[in-house]
Chains A and B, each alone.
Chain A
Amino acid sequence: MAETSRSRPSEPRAHRPVSTARMVRTLYGSRIRSQASYRASFVSDLLGQALMVGVEFLELWVILANVGTLGGMTLPQVAVVYGLGSLAFGIADLLLGEIDGLSTYIKSGKLETLMIRPVPMLLQISSLDLSLRRIGRILVGLGMYVVALGIAGFTPTATTLALAVIAPLAGAAIFGALLTMAGAMQFWLIDGREFANAFTYGGNYVASTPGAVFALPMRAFFTFVIPATLVAYAPTLVLLDLPGPMLLPQWTGWMGVPAAILTWALAALLWRAGIRTYTGAGG
């Protein structure tokens, strides 16, 4: 396809075939450049997001100021869970947060313009609507995660250090899959956007909270159906060498990657089925 009209003499530069990596870089790069150009509103958006994450943590902080431990965890330990959960959700939200608005794409017909391009739609939605202000959540989450790990007495070994790095990525993958499912669901439930919020934003809420606070049925639901407790709480048990509650023994801290693979497999199936429904049943 990299062929132009033959009447034109070819120029000496840049005849390399375009790699997928370079294509992806161009897609994200253009989007990032465009947002950095609105500097004032970008900064206020970024601060707003960062403040939002901080204020949400104040809720847990106030409780811990009153009772000392929550779900068996002290303030620094809870801060590790919260920071890790926010970091994981922040990355997923940055990359796939816009997919939540799929129903507006469907209603406005914008989805059709994405369908006539030779690039997977998920990649298009992810790159072309990337909202850089969401970096605010990532920054606060990362800062809190690192600082709280230090205060809470994290002793780095090769394995725990590896987990400390893998955990936010696996968590981001889990949330990414949940967001994709939330988007795919809208192929069937065009006004059902809020349903999905229970699992995506609700999952984030659960993930950034010590899992032991939830009664067994809820803990089971948010572990086996929506693997939110495996994002931050379970890895924190390993990182800080804490015993886990029922259903979440310490070793589940390593289950983030398998859970991510499983949820992505489901998300991919659901997304494909959604597109099939769309092309079959019309817009």
Chain B
Amino acid sequence: MLAYRRIAAASFRQYSTYRMATAAGVFTNTIFGFIRASIMLAAIGTAGGELNGYDALQAATYVWLGQALLAPIEVFGTRELALRIRQGDVAIDLLRPVDLLGQLYAAKLGRSAYLLLARGIPPMLIGAVVTGIALPPDPLSHLLGAVAVMLAITVAFLADAMVNLAAFWLVENRGLTTVYTAVMNLLSGFLIPIVWFPDWLLAIARATPFPSMVQTPIDALSGRVAPLDALPLIGVQVVWVVVLGGASVLMLRAGVRSLEVQGG
């Protein structure tokens, strides 16, 4: 446990040294927030002030919470593990006495904590000043929101790990990463709330783990979903953590076996 804590802390510190990159990230995040908010607010304006349960303030809140989660969830995917697999460095990682997925998860938590604080919160504050945001008065919503964010980061981590682990079998998995990122951006509700989807697309989205990564934590945090209704959504997140966790462990085992067969 101590080893994992140290990895997480080291990852947090490592990211906190990239000050210029953080400033650049906050700036870009804010600009994109404004672009996204413009589009959503224009749509709500045309719809007469309310669209599928979102009014202007809720839509703005939705956008800024999404921008805050973008960096910690790593919406654009990671490629580090895939590269280590391709270059064979993963053999070294596997020799360490600490579980590989555990190591990566600890690093992810440390990194995400920093990214949430340094890159996520400032654009949200700017958004709160310019467009306004609505956060619920109920402390229970905050607590559930925090749990949902934590679970969302975990689900996103596991799904991303599986995409990376595919590198055991694919010569080049950049194409897969691109496709995954595109689908995830849409179905997670990062671009627009999934309740705006037509029924068939909503049904597809609900059958995937993607809404658990963005839509659920935003709904829980913003209080758009009442605490009692948020609980089943959090239950869905837990189910996905179990399912994807099991699947990624199996994938890693199979991958290691295929490495051994090929002789590394």
Contact = CB atoms under 8 A, between A and B. Distances in A.
A and B in contact, CB less than 8 Å: yes
Interface of A: 38, 40-41, 43-49, 51-52, 54-56, 58-60, 62-63, 65-71, 133, 189-195, 197-198, 202, 205-206, 209, 212-215, 218
B28 A52 contact: no
Interface stretch (B96-104, B109-117, B178-186): B178-186
Most buried by B among A51, A52, A54, A66: A66
B174 A41 contact: yes
A193 B198 contact: no
Contact of A40 (B52, B171, B186): B171
14 contacts: A40-B172, A45-B172, A45-B175, A47-B179, A51-B178, A51-B183, A70-B46, A192-B20, A192-B21, A194-B28, A195-B24, A198-B32, A214-B38, A218-B38
Interface string B21-39: 1011101100110110011
B181 A189 contact: no
Contacts of A48: 174-179, 182
A66 B42 contact: no
B185 A189 contact: no
B169 interface: no
Contact of A202 (B32, B43, B172): B32
Contacts of B198: 62, 65
Q: How large is the interface on B (under 10, 10 to 19, 20 to 34, 35 or more residues)?
A: 35 or more
A67 B32 contact: no
Contacts of A63: 39-40, 43, 192, 196
B201 interface: yes
- Pairs of residues from A and B, 3 with the lowest C-beta to C-beta distance, nearest first: A44-B175, A48-B178, A41-B172
A59 B192 contact: yes
B24 A192 contact: yes
A47 B46 CA distance: 34
B247 to A, nearest CB: 22
A65 B18 CA distance: 42
A62 B192 contact: yes
A198 B28 contact: yes
Contact of B52 (A66, A190, A197): A66
> Main SS of the interface on chain B?
helix
Contacts of A70: 39, 42-43, 46
A189 B43 CA distance: 37
B24 A194 contact: yes
A59 B46 contact: no
Given A194-B21, A197-B28, A198-B32, A66 B178 contact: no
A47 B179 CA distance: 8
B51 interface: yes
Interface string B180-203: 011101100001100011100100
A215 to B, nearest CB: 6
A159 B42 CA distance: 32
B172 A44 contact: yes
Contacts of A192: 20-21, 23-24
Given A52-B181, A67-B43, A38 B28 contact: no
A209 B38 CA distance: 10
B21 A215 contact: no
Nearest to A136: B178
Contacts of A38: 172
Contact of B42 (A56, A68, A133, A213): A213
A191 B185 contact: no
Contacts of B196: 62-63, 66
Interface in B5-63: 18, 20-21, 23-25, 27-28, 31-32, 34-35, 38-43, 46-47, 51-52
B184 to A, nearest CB: 9
Interface string B147-164: 000000000000000000
Given A66-B43, A68-B46, A45 B28 contact: no
B47 A191 contact: no
Contacts of A52: 178-179, 181-182
A67 B201 CA distance: 17
B213 to A, nearest CB: 16
A159 to B, nearest CB: 30
A67 B28 contact: no
